[in-house]
Chains A and B, each alone.
Chain A
């Protein structure tokens, strides 16, 4: 097996050489972006098709197992849903009344839509970070579908993350629960600004993320308050729901408060996301 030619270099020299090379790589890419490299394109066309295939198999199995749900459970659910429909219809008609009134008032004050309907693209998650330290995932849409870096990603009712790297047919999304994620946000009730930071430690212990530096001098913020992205954020569109305050405490300086937020998006079972094509200017 070991046919060593005379000229073969000892592997420890190769190791040292490569270590230096990759250290330079780290420093270089730390300083400059390497996102637009052709490697992104090549890898994208090799990996994304295979990944999509495996993902399809996975969701097929998932759907099959879902199909075996106990019928009893479905019947019960049906009954409770029916009663829910009745309640909701009543509520709906009441809301519709209010909505018409609202529209009339809008015309009155000539207030344009505060939250315009952003153009969105749906994408499927095709892979997640291989390790357990970070929460990033790749989706099956890229520059070919008009995805750009820093576009906001939402899922269900809330903010899921932000596009951090794009290839032609794939993009990487950094989730809001990722340890390196920071979002400028505010308390919807008090409009106090804060920074929402993903944190691996609290995520693995209590499934929460942290918020910091909320200048709540009156102590108005309370547990259960909605936290949304702020309008001063440079990358996030305003008014996207991040989560609800689950615990709160005063900082040492007695001026600001910090605490924990329960995110609204269920990242464990995330399969599809929407990308907002509007970039924050």
Chain B
């Protein structure tokens, strides 16, 4: 059980670093896809609430430590993203790509909305319409496009890892 958590956490570290370096370089018109949200959401609906929460907390922790003046905001947002996606774990079937894409898109919008509420409204910056059109929507579209390309390979890697884990656990039984 712990193995799964460690593997997911190690993958998260690399995804975080890729997000801060490579994916910032891939940005179009100043907007880059958010694969941190993508990964947290995926772990959520593939592995359930608890693992989703765990990865969400880690993702938020890294973001807050390196890039946020107030500690805890990103942790909270990502934790809820992981948890909410975990609720849909029961309905997730790898053959059907629609639900994952929908969830990833919704997660990114939730992330954007939460950022707006927690970090902009308090500083009396209220132009939600503008932020929605210029930041949230492009980011979501970009992220979902990326998810369409990456879903199958990423899923096969994760399920392969599950197989290895099952085999090794059989040895102990």
Which residue from A34, A40, A51 sits with its C-beta under 8 Å from B21? A51
Interface residues of B in 32-55 (CB under 8 A from A): 32, 34, 36, 49-50, 53
Known: A15-B79, A25-B72, A132-B30. A54 touches B21 (CB 8 A): yes
Question: In the complex, which range does the number of interface residues on chain A fall in?
Answer: 35 or more
B67 engages A132 (CB within 8 Å): no
Classify the secondary structure of B's interface with A. Answer: helix
A-B contact pairs, 22 of them (CB 8 A): A11-B49, A11-B50, A15-B53, A15-B79, A23-B72, A25-B72, A43-B62, A43-B65, A47-B17, A128-B21, A130-B16, A130-B19, A130-B36, A131-B34, A131-B63, A132-B31, A132-B135, A132-B139, A133-B112, A133-B119, A133-B120, A165-B69
Q: Indicate with 1 or 0, residue by residue over B67-87, a CB within 8 angstroms of chain A CB atoms.
A: 101111101100110010010
B66 within 8 A of A: yes
Assuming the contacts A26-B72, A133-B119, asked whether A54 and B57 have C-beta atoms less than 8 A apart, the reply is: no
State the CA gap A131–B152 with chains docked (Å). Answer: 24
Tell me how many residues of B have a C-beta within 8 Å of chain A. 51
| B20–A201 touching, CB < 8 Å | no
B22 within 8 A of A: yes
Cα–Cα, bound, A144→B135 (Å): 37
> Inside 8 A of B32's CB, which chain A residues have their CB?
132
Complex CA gap A131/B67 in Å reads 10
Complex CA–CA separation, A29 to B131 (angstroms): 27
B17 x A127 contact (CB < 8 A) = yes
Contacts of A132 in B (CB 8 A): 30-32, 34, 135, 139
Chain A 127-170 per-residue mask, 1 if CB under 8 angstroms from chain B, else 0: 11111111010100000000000000000000000001100001
Q: Residues on A close to B: CB < 8 A?
A: 11, 14-15, 18-19, 22-23, 25-26, 28-30, 34, 39-40, 43, 46-47, 50-51, 54-55, 58, 126-134, 136, 138, 164-165, 170, 172, 179-180, 200-201, 203-205, 268
Residues from chain A with a CB closer than 8 A to the CB of B13 are 46-47, 50
In whole Å, how far is B6's beta carbon from the nearest beta carbon of chain A? 14
Q: How far is the CA of A28 from the CA of B71 in the complex (A)?
A: 8
**Given contacts A23-B76, A29-B71, A201-B127, A127 and B20 within 8 Å (CB-CB):** yes
- Contacts A11-B53, A11-B83, A14-B50 known; 13 new A-B pairs at CB < 8 A: A25-B71, A26-B71, A40-B65, A43-B65, A47-B13, A47-B17, A50-B14, A130-B23, A130-B67, A133-B119, A136-B67, A179-B125, A201-B131
A201-B71 contact given A18-B79, A55-B21, A58-B25, CB 8 Å threshold: no
With contact pairs A11-B50, A23-B72 given, residues A268 and B65 touching in the complex (Cβ less than 8 Å): no
Q: A26 and B130: CB pair below 8 A?
A: no
A200 touches B135 (CB 8 A): yes
- B25 surroundings in chain A (CB, below 8 A): 58
Q: Is there an interface contact between A172 and B66, defined as CB atoms closer than 8 Å?
A: yes
Q: Is the CB of A11 within 8 A of B21?
A: no
CA A15 to CA B125, docked complex, whole Å: 30
Contacts of A58 in B (CB 8 A): 21-22, 25
Q: B130-171 vs A: 1/0 string, CB under 8 Å?
A: 110011000100000000000000000000000000000000
